[in-house]
Amino acid sequence: MFTIITGAQFGDEGKGKIVDMIAKDYDIVARFQGGNNAGHMVKVGDDIYKLHLIPSGILLNARVLIGPGVTLNPEVLAEEIMMLKKHGIEVDARKLGIDAKTSIIMPYHIEMEGLREAFREQKIGTTKRGVGYAYIDKVARDEIRMAELIDSKRFLTRLKELAPQKEREIAGMGGDPKIVMDSTLIERYIELGRQFTTYITDVSMEINEALNEGKHVMSEAAQGTHLDVIHGTQKFVTSYSTIAGSACANLGVGPTRVDNVIAIVKAYITRVGEGPLPTELTGKLGEKYRKLGTNSEQLPAGAGDAGGLIYLS
């Protein structure tokens, strides 16, 4: 059985909670797009787990996968693994798999996204975590993939190939191009690559083989339908497709294999970042509803946080 879970609004509908509730019935939970601009918070007893990359099914017995359609910041992933370890959850290669084709968010992506947003007269509300520029590089065929990150020689060769272009772009935007070949950052990424070597898998093959064996697979989305790069509220959208159908393309699973699509909604609409929403409610009442509905004072910016506003439909 193949089930797709996505948000039917602007994200922050509570997808992580739903995934956590039903993951006990699934053998695999796979993340199919987005980056650490997304965030799922799951509360178990008195423990709160803030997850940006690792699927929520990590808290149960499912194997969790990060698919090739994801843009991955390896530093954030390392922090999440450490956070889970502190809670007594061991995230080894038997529990977590990362596709070799997954795009890597580089420090220069984060720099470029911040510079680009600063130049905009009308802000789009980017989280400035480099996700958008990592997707630009994917489309431009200038990405660095997980397969290269885990091989220091290939990683350095690829980085040196891309460096002149990235340095020119950052300089042209008024930033410091030295970030591209910063030796400290490069050494850290090489170290992270070594850390994740054993996690590499072919997500498409693993999912299709699991389905052939009659296992249950769930695909978990980031954001919601109205933030889809094609079908959303342009230009106030994210950098990738958020609709249910994109799970098939991003995970390499044919559409005829889909058994269920679950679209998550909540009673009122919130929106992270910028963008129009006619029923915006501001002031003390809006802040009260935002906190009651999202418990957002416990969330990092850009993850379950309506940006200080609440929108009622």
Q: What is the reported pLDDT for 311?
A: 33
| CATH 1.10.300.10 domain range(s) in the chain | 103-197
Q: Give yes or no for a contact between 68 and 34, defined as CB atoms under 8 angstroms apart.
A: no
Torsion, Cα 229 230 233 237, to 10 degrees, reads 0
Exactly one of 20, 27, 40, 226 is catalytic; which is it?
40
Q: Which CATH number fits domain 2-101+198-264: 3.40.440.10, 3.40.50.2300, 3.40.50.970, 3.40.1210.10?
A: 3.40.440.10
Give 18's contacts (C-beta < 8 A, 6+ positions apart).
5, 262, 264
CATH topology of domain 103-197: Adenylosuccinate Synthetase, subunit A; domain 2 (1.10.300)
Q: Which of 12, 27, 99, 137 does the annotation list as catalytic?
A: 12
**Every domain range in the chain assigned CATH 3.40.440.10:** 2-101+198-264
Catalytic residue check, 216: no
The alpha carbon dihedral of 77, 80, 82, 85 has a sign of negative
pLDDT value at position 294? 58
Rounded to whole angstroms, how far apart are CA atoms 204 and 15? 23
Residue 40 annotated to the active site:
yes
Q: CA-CA distance, 188 to 166, in Å (whole number)?
A: 19
Please report the pLDDT score of residue 303 as a whole number.
39
* Residues 6+ positions from 135 with CB-CB distance below 8 Å: 71, 103, 239, 240
Alpha carbon distance, N-terminus to C-terminus of the chain: 34
Tokens 């601009």 identify what position? 37
Instruction: Convert the pLDDT of each residue in 247-293 to its tens digit.
Output: 999 999 999 999 999 999 988 788 877 788 878 888 888 888 777 76
Instruction: Show the low-confidence residues of the chain (pLDDT under 50).
Output: 296-313
